[in-house]
Structure formats: C-alpha cells, structure tokens
Amino acid sequence: MAAMNSFVEVTGDKALKNVTRADILKYRQWWMDRIEKGEIVAATVNKNMMYVKDILQIVGIFYEVGTDFDLLFSKIRLKELEQSRPPFEASFVQNILLAPGSMKTLNAEAKLLIFAMADTGARESELIGLRKEDIFLNEPIPYIWIRAQKNRALKTITSERKIPLVGASLYAFQKLPNGFMDYRNADTASMHILAQSEQSF
C-alpha cells in the first residue's frame, strides 16, 4: 500500500514496537510539506494517516505489541476545507444543461462555462480557477493546463493535466482568453447555473 510505503520511507524501517509519537509527527509533517507545494489537500493526508494507523494497529494486535496506536495518532487530523458542491456529471451537462432552451436565462459567461465543461470533462472549480497563463490558444493544438496554484491545491496530484480544446470548449476560451472572471468560486457558479436552468423548464 502506498500510504504504508511512504510511512516507512519517511520514518525508517523499524520494529513495530519502536514506532514513536515523533515518527507519527514526522510523517504528518511530510504530508504537510506536500500540501504547501499544492500537490494534495488535507483530506488526502487524513485518509493516508488513518490507513497507516489501522495497519499498525491490526499488526500490533496480531503480534501482541503493547503500543497504544490510538494515543500515538491522537490529534493529528488536519482541518479539511468544507466540501464544495459536487461537480456536474458529464451526462447532466450534455442532457440537461445543453438541452434546447435550458440556457436562455443564463448570462454569457455561464453559458461559456457549460460549453467548456461539456468538451473538456473538467470540474467547474478547475475551469474557474484557470488564469490567463494556463490557457494556450496559439499552440498548434490549443489546450488548457490545470495545475496547482499558490492559493489553490488540486484535489489530487494526478489532477494536474493538459486538456486539448476542441469544439465548444475552444469556442468558450476564445471568447474568454483571460479565463472566467464573473464567479468567485465553483459553488457560486453551480448555484447560479442550476437555479437559472430550472427556471427554463
């Protein structure tokens, strides 16, 4: 398991009975350093820390190791950002939001956001977070680069990717070469799009 492998890499390959609170804190700090680099979010850290705790606890019980792993791992959980509205499913975008008449009450930028989602498969939060330097329209194959930023981490490190722009998504970014400016965050955009789309039916 990746979580356990990283724990051994950070703390050293040692006997289970020799695992200390200092090891746990060192491992936690290793994860926090990755958060600072924008590679991961707190929820990922918490899941991996609990995976390691569960493995150590199960093995400890089996081999009758007296270490209290609940105590070693106490108060290490990181505060997670409040979960935002789930991203629109591709089928919802294509069959509901792009249905005839569904966008007649939307403003221009909201319509372009839907076009971008439909042809890229990206989350609305990823698209809204794009900056001018993440949008490459003058390349042989135009694309957007979804990557971590100073004040915005990606959901996972594998979320970083370059997505070719074709069809409606290319049209959307040609209209908005500096990125989406009307919305502060994905929740604001989602609520506006859903509310306006419901009025259209």
> Among the ranges 11-20, 102-111, 189-198, which has the highest mean pLDDT value?
11-20
- Measured at the CA of 135, the angle between CA 183 and CA 84, to 5 degrees, comes to 35
In the chain the beta strands, taken as DSSP E runs, fall at 135-136, 143-146, 161-164
**Inter-residue contact 44 to 156 (CB < 8 Å):** yes
Q: Is the pLDDT of residue 104 over 60?
A: yes
Cα separation, 74 vs 70, in Å, equals 6
SS3 of residue 146 by DSSP: strand
In 86-172 the beta strands, taken as DSSP E runs, fall at 135-136, 143-146, 161-164
Which residues lie below 8 Å from residue 172, measured CB to CB, with a gap of 6+? 112, 113, 115, 116
**Inter-residue contact 18 to 4 (CB < 8 Å):** no
pLDDT tens string 149-161: 655 555 555 577 8
Percentage of the chain surpassing pLDDT 90?
Answer: 39
Domains of the chain: 2-72 (no CATH), 90-199 (1.10.443.10)
| Torsion over CA: 169, 174, 146, 83 (sign) | negative
> Among the ranges 76-85, 115-124, 162-171, which has the highest mean pLDDT value?
162-171
pLDDT tens string 32-45: 888 777 677 788 88
